């Protein structure tokens, strides 16, 4: 990480360290989702997945359920579903993604998780070629 200070011509260096996401965001719904939905953070996610997104809704009702974040791709106008999971991916969240995407008619899905299982990556690979206009993206820290 490089931090540029206005008062100095030489950049200051910082040290990156791995942290438990639950130390930073104790609650997915009450701390992580509101943080990710902030304009600056959503923009960073969008850059990472090569999209340009604007926030449409947070905790959007889908029948009796609630989708974490709904954004709009500014280039296509299509809805993008963003589902957050601070733990390892699981079947419950995969089912939620499909349910929310169908209910909202989202064209793209972004699943943010701290760890993706090989099985869920394979599920994304299987879903992606089904429709060239739809996209399923997983994002986890490096």
In the chain, how many domains are there? Answer: 1
Query: Which of these, 75, 77, 116, lies nearest to 97 by C-alpha position?
Result: 116
Residue 111 covered by a domain = yes
Flag whether 127 is in a domain: yes
Residue 44: alpha-carbon gap to chain centroid = 10
80 located within any domain: yes
Average confidence (pLDDT) over 44-69: 95
Lowest mean pLDDT among 2-11, 23-32, 95-104: 2-11
Range of the domain at 71: 21-139
pLDDT over 70 percentage in the chain = 83
Predicted confidence (pLDDT) per residue in 70-110, tens digit: 999 999 999 999 999 999 999 999 999 999 999 999 999 99
Residue 70 counted as domain residue: yes
Q: Is residue 81 part of a domain?
A: yes
- The answer to whether residue 98 is domain-embedded is yes
Instruction: Check: CB of residue 140 under 8 Å from CB of residue 124.
Output: no
Asked whether residue 67 is domain-assigned, the answer is yes
Domain of residue 82, CATH code: 3.40.1350.10
């Amino acid at each position: 990480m490089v931090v540029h200070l206005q008062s100095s011509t030489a950049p200051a260096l910082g040290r990156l360290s791995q942290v438990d996401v639950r130390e930073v965001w104790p609650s997915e719904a009450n701390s992580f989702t509101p943080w990710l939905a902030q304009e600056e953070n959503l923009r960073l996610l969008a850059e990472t997945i090569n999209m340009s997104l604007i926030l449409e809704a947070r905790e959007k009702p889908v029948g009796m359920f609630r989708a974490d974040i709904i954004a709009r791709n500014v280039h296509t106008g299509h809805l993008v579903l963003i589902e957050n999971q601070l733990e390892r991916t699981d079947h419950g969240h995969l089912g939620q993604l499909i349910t929310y995407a169908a209910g909202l008619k989202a064209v793209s899905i972004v699943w943010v998780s701290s760890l993706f299982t090989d099985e869920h990556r394979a599920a994304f690979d299987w879903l992606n070629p089904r429709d060239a206009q739809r996209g399923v993206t997983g994002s986890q820290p490096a």
